[in-house]
Amino acid sequence: MKLIGSNTSPYVRKARLVLLEKNLPHDYVVDPPSDPNSEVYRVNPLGRIPALILDDGECIFDSVVITEYADTLNDTPILIPRNDALARMRVRRWEALADGIMDSAIVVRNEVLRPQEMQLAATLELHNNAITHTLQHIAAQLGTRDWCEGDALTLADLALVSALAYLDLRQPGRDWRGAHPDLAAWFLRMSARPGIQLSLADNK
């Protein structure tokens, strides 16, 4: 398998972390759509990353679809519960919260790249507030627990790591650690995992 992406995409990070945590052999190819010659335009009609190319050439795109598919390939670990509908919903709900942080952070990033006189203050406020409120909710839900859902690693944890890492990359002035010390401690523990260390090193 070959995962096409970029080191700055939080959705790529989420997909890559699933492949790493499940020890699925793959090549990670940095080939962002910002390059007009990117292979992603050949394999994904949307021209977006991440894109996972299987050994037979079939392409899977969108991080949600990639992670769903990858989790079925082996059982070590099972990242999305299979036999408990409520647990599965809760993992997916955590993923939706994390993806929502990523979505809003990307909107903010794109807005601040515009000339200052063209930036929309209402858009910046809306999405920065969404991030702030979601972080408050996540920190309250997680508390001092080791895992977002249940008693083992799930996709929820990997999605949240991806969202927080993206905030570190794109909003370094946001002191989410100071505001949420338990969440900061959780992120530090998660960052000790070899796959996450490998992924976070790409930000440097």
- The domain spanning residue 152 has which CATH number? 1.20.1050.10
Question: Residue 157 has which token pair?
Answer: 């944890």
Domain C-terminal end among 42, 71, 100? 71
Name the pTM for this structure. 0.96
- The per-residue pLDDT for range 116-128, each reduced to its tens digit, is 999 999 999 999 9
Residues 50 and 110 in one domain: no
User: What range does the domain containing 156 cover?
Assistant: 85-193
CATH number at 37 reads: 3.40.30.10
Exposure on the CB side of residue 85, measured as CA atoms within 13 A: 0
Apex 152 CA angle, 75 and 5, nearest 5: 65
Q: What pLDDT band is residue 144 in, cutting at 50, 70 and 90?
A: very high
Q: Give the total number of structural domains in the chain.
A: 2
Let me know if residue 204 belongs to a domain.
Answer: no
Question: pLDDT value at position 102?
Answer: 98
- The per-residue pLDDT for range 171-186, each reduced to its tens digit, is 999 999 999 999 999 9
Apex 102 CA angle, 104 and 46, nearest 5: 95
